[in-house]
């Protein structure tokens, strides 16, 4: 493993302030009381925790000592989790970026291992983004002066007494509703020209979304809608094609000007010829200005077209409790959010109109992309509404639509 320097100040472990409980008895097929997963940058703190736990009679499993050489990391992790009573995750920025990504990338395997095993998240430093599938758990704070006593109490409590501590792949919207997922990055992000649109892989549902989206074909269709922008909206925008069009226009202008000049010399239609000469004299300048503005507006134009496509994609994904958002050509924000209650709100508000569902779909089409971006960034361009919406602790979709309509944002 890498002997990396610590990237952030980590609080020291304090001794326990009371006599810790006795470790629970290891059952059949169990070799450890706890498997600890941590980033290599946090190894000093993790090792001090391991020493403290083992000095109190707990059997601890961790990768540097207990992984079997020659096997893959995932195979080792799977076996160690299965052989342990509990799992302790040391959450730091580096862990969330690297090691949790490894766990999440194989969540189907991870889920099977953790089906009946409590997970103990430990927040190592403040400000760490809690992964989606851990956000409903109560974590322990390493800065707590009673931290060691608390972690010993949890680890020495039999599993059957730790109700509601199991990580599960899918919970009710009240748990995950409004949670941002990892953004999707364009596969052609490098070397993307100003007039080009980002393209995203539609081969399979990303691991972070696989636990939420059951219909892979629906996801692929949604991504194809976004990718269609690069096929239908940018064909006339490359510089070489514009230059070719401009050259053709100049040639045609010279030819027509020559014809008009001949007519003028011969005195044929002199007034009309003068007018046409004026028009064709202004045309090149207009063309140059238009091409200049066209080039300047490339990125904004493509982003707007991608936002429209994302709105169409969200008409599909909203049934899967997932929305996408777009603010650039290279990144799609994703969020787990249920808007079923907002759909019902549209129906209740416009129940006398047959077009209530159509109005809701138009709202999804025009506003869902911006709404998802606000959810992902945890910032809305208006004060929090005074009335409670359908999303606890945040702005629900119908509140967002109402605010945007009051600001004249309807397209």
Q: What is the pLDDT along the chain (411 residues), one digit of tens a residue?
A: 344 444 555 666 655 545 667 888 898 889 999 999 888 889 999 999 999 999 999 999 999 999 999 887 778 888 888 899 998 989 888 887 776 655 654 555 566 566 667 888 899 988 787 776 676 677 888 988 889 988 998 899 887 776 554 444 334 334 457 778 778 899 988 878 777 888 899 887 776 676 567 678 899 999 999 999 887 776 555 566 666 666 676 676 667 666 666 666 666 555 555 555 555 555 565 666 555 555 556 778 888 999 999 999 999 999 888 999 999 989 999 988 889 889 988 888 877 666 888 889 999 999 999 999 999 888 998 888 877 888 877 899 999 999 998 877 654
Tell me the pairing of strands 179-180 and 331-336.
antiparallel
60-61, strands of its sheet edge to edge:
60-61, 32-37, 84-91, 119-123, 140-141
Task: Tell me the domain boundaries of the chain.
Answer: 32-169, 173-411
Q: Does the domain at residues 32-169 carry the CATH identifier 1.10.3720.10?
A: no
Q: The pTM is what?
A: 0.55
């Amino acid at each position: 493993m890498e002997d990396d320097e610590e990237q952030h100040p980590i609080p020291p472990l304090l001794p326990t302030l009371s006599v810790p409980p006795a470790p629970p008895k290891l059952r059949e097929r169990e070799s450890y009381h706890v498997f600890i997963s941590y980033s290599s940058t946090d190894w000093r703190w993790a090792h001090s925790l391991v020493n403290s736990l083992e000095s109190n009679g707990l059997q601890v499993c961790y990768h540097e000592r207990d992984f079997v050489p020659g096997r893959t990391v995932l195979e080792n992790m799977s076996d160690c989790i299965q052989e342990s009573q509990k799992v302790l995750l040391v959450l730091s920025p580096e862990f969330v970026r690297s090691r949790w990504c490894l766990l999440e990338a194989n969540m189907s395997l991870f889920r099977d291992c953790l089906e009946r095993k409590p997970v103990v998240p430990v927040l190592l430093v403040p400000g760490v983004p809690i992964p989606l599938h851990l956000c409903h758990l109560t974590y322990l704070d390493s800065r707590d002066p009673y931290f060691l006593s608390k972690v010993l109490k949890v680890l020495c409590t039999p599993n059957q007494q730790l109700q509601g501590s199991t990580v599960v792949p899918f919970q009710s919207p009240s748990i995950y509703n409004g949670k941002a997922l990892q953004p999707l990055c364009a596969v052609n992000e490098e070397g993307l020209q100003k007039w080009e649109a980002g393209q995203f892989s539609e081969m399979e549902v990303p691991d972070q979304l696989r636990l939420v989206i059951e219909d892979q074909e629906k996801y692929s269709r949604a991504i194809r809608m976004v990718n269609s922008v690069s096929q239908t909206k940018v064909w006339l925008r490359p510089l070489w094609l514009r230059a070719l069009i401009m050259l053709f226009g100049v040639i045609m202008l010279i030819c027509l000007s020559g014809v008009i000049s001949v007519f003028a010399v011969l005195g044929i239609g002199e007034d009309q010829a003068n007018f046409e000469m004026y028009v064709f004299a202004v045309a090149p300048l207009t063309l140059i200005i238009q091409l200049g503005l066209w080039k300047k507006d490339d990125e904004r134009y493509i982003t707007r077209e991608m936002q429209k496509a994302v709105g169409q994609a969200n008409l599909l994904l909203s049934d899967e409790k997932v929305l996408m958002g777009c603010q650039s050509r290279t990144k799609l924000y994703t969020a787990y959010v249920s808007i079923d209650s907002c759909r019902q709100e549209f129906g209740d508000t416009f129940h006398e109109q047959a077009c209530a569902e159509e109005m809701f779909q138009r709202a999804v089409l025009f506003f869902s992309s911006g709404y998802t971006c606000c959810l992902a960034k945890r910032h809305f361009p208006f004060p929090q509404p005074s009335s409670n919406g359908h999303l606890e602790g945040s702005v629900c979709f119908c509140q967002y639509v109402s605010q945007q309509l009051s600001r004249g944002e309807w397209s």
